[in-house]
Amino acid sequence: MNWIKDFVRPRFAGVFRKGDDTPDNLWENCKKCGEIIFHRDLAHLQNVCPSCHYHMRIGAKMRFAQTFDDGKYEIIPLRDVAHDPLQFKDQKKYSERLKEARQKAAQKAIADNNPDVPKDAVQVGKGAICGIQSIVAVQDFAFMGGSLGMAAGEAVITAAETAHQAGAPLIMFTAAGGARMQEGILSLMQMPRTTVAIQRLREAGLPYIVVLTDPTTGGVTASYAMLGDVQIAEPGALIGFAGPRVIEDTIKETLPDGFQRAEYLLAHGMIDMVVHRHQLRDTLGRLVALLTGQKSTKKSAKKSAAL
């Protein structure tokens, strides 16, 4: 064999080739302190930065798994609503935006091995928290900024009705940029509709607990997000009606540090408690036991690594 002309091609490429089961992002950067966290560690940490305790935004599947006993729950089917009845168009048609958001959600569901593909921003689950039957609704900021449109409004109403029928408490995790402007007045109508649904729950003597997560703003803050019997917030969550920049531009004043953050709202009596995500499930368990008069069982949540 001529060593100059004939050579055996190195076969290292196969060693470095990415396998199909390798996730795209093995490492996640903390947006607040820049800490680089391994994806498996992050799942164990419930998506909270170990250095600065920044609470990253999470979707419904992870939230349900972290909240219900043993991560077991049943998804409540939601009613379909009219699609784009106003035929709204800005730079893009609303129907196209909705289609894209659904495709993105479907892709994420496939990547997460999640059979419950969300059609809109709010999902509803039924299960037990510390042994007490509860209904949990989760608003996902990743779906069109968690905006409140007809579908999200219908989901909140379904959650309240399901809680009513089951005689169970309702826990609502909010995250929204506000009302879905592409649905105009139909979106704003969800504010009174959801308020009435929550009021019915109250009249039936069933507890309604709100967990405000980052960010909760606009029409959601002006309706069901602020109607809880107990108002909890995750640390550092932005909570308000208009954003701080809009307020500063309007009043021509510089806002104080931490304005509209969970801790600021707690200090000013707007919410009842700020709870770290690692203690959230136990806190909810204690509250539903206290408010329903039932005895709770101290069951551990499903290990986050298996989420």
Contact footprint for Zn ion (CB under 5 A): 30, 32-33, 35, 49, 51-52, 54
Contact 299, 69 (CB under 8 A): yes
Minimum separation from the CB atom of position 145 to Zn ion (A): 23
Q: CA–CA separation, 173 vs 124, rounded Å?
A: 10
Of 51 and 107, which has the nearer Cβ to Zn ion?
A: 51
Of 33 and 117, which has the nearer Cβ to Zn ion?
A: 33
**Positive or negative: CA dihedral 85, 87, 92, 95:** positive
Of 33 and 110, which has the nearer Cβ to Zn ion?
A: 33
Of 35 and 282, which has the nearer Cβ to Zn ion?
A: 35
Pairing relation of β-strands 208-216 and 230-233?
Answer: parallel
Contact 194, 153 (CB under 8 A): yes
Pairing relation of β-strands 122-129 and 170-176?
Answer: unpaired
User: Which element (helix H / strand E) includes 202?
Assistant: helix 190-203
Q: What are phi and psi of 282, to 5 degrees?
A: -65, -40
> Terminal CA-to-CA distance of the chain, rounded, Å?
55
Whether the bond into 207 is cis, omega within 30 of 0 = no
Of 54 and 241, which has the nearer Cβ to Zn ion?
A: 54
Of 147 and 213, which has the nearer Cβ to Zn ion?
A: 213
* C-alpha 7, offset from chain centre: 57
Q: CA–CA separation, 169 vs 244, rounded Å?
A: 33
